[in-house]
């Protein structure tokens, strides 16, 4: 994946993810665990309804990848087109994000608005917390 990622305001589960370069994704409104993910792979994916740990994933390009187990705030997201991301362990507001930018980024520990970010690739991620 090329370009920049930017996370803003991750404390209290308020977040915006912009600029996934070719994937053109935006994640908004994580306050109260509500979110919408739009525009993955030219608008072919939409993730809605994260409130109460329930979600719907629609139309991940032609590969038909699946988002499973978001009930009870557990999630696994696999095979997001070219950047091949995996999201696991949303229970108790803890997040492990691997595989961004060819596996060179990892996001852990979002509980209580605190985040630990390891494995950044040449500063392509920007944190404002």
pLDDT in tens, 71-102: 333 333 433 333 333 343 333 333 444 333 33
- pLDDT at position 1 is 32
Judge residue 64's burial from the number of C-beta atoms within 10 Å of its C-beta, 0-12 exposed, 13-18 middle, 19 or more buried: exposed
In tens, the pLDDT along 14-49 reads: 333 333 333 333 343 333 333 334 333 333 334 433
Q: Which domain holds residue 102?
A: 5-128
d(CA 112, CA 42) in angstroms, rounded, equals 33
In tens, the pLDDT along 102-118 reads: 333 344 333 333 333 33
What's the number of domains the chain is made of?
1
């Amino acid at each position: 994946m090329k370009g920049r990622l930017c996370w803003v305001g991750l404390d209290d589960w308020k977040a915006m993810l912009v600029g996934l370069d070719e994937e053109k994704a935006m994640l908004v409104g994580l306050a109260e665990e509500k979110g919408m993910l739009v525009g993955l792979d030219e608008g072919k994916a939409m993730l809605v309804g994260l409130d109460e740990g329930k979600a719907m994933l629609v139309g991940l390009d032609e590969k038909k990848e699946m988002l499973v187990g978001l009930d009870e705030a557990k999630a696994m997201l696999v095979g997001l087109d070219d950047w091949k991301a995996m999201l696991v362990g949303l229970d108790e507001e803890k997040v492990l994000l691997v595989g961004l930018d060819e596996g060179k980024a990892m996001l852990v520990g979002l509980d209580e608005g605190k985040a630990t970010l390891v494995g950044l690739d040449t500063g392509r991620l920007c944190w404002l917390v």
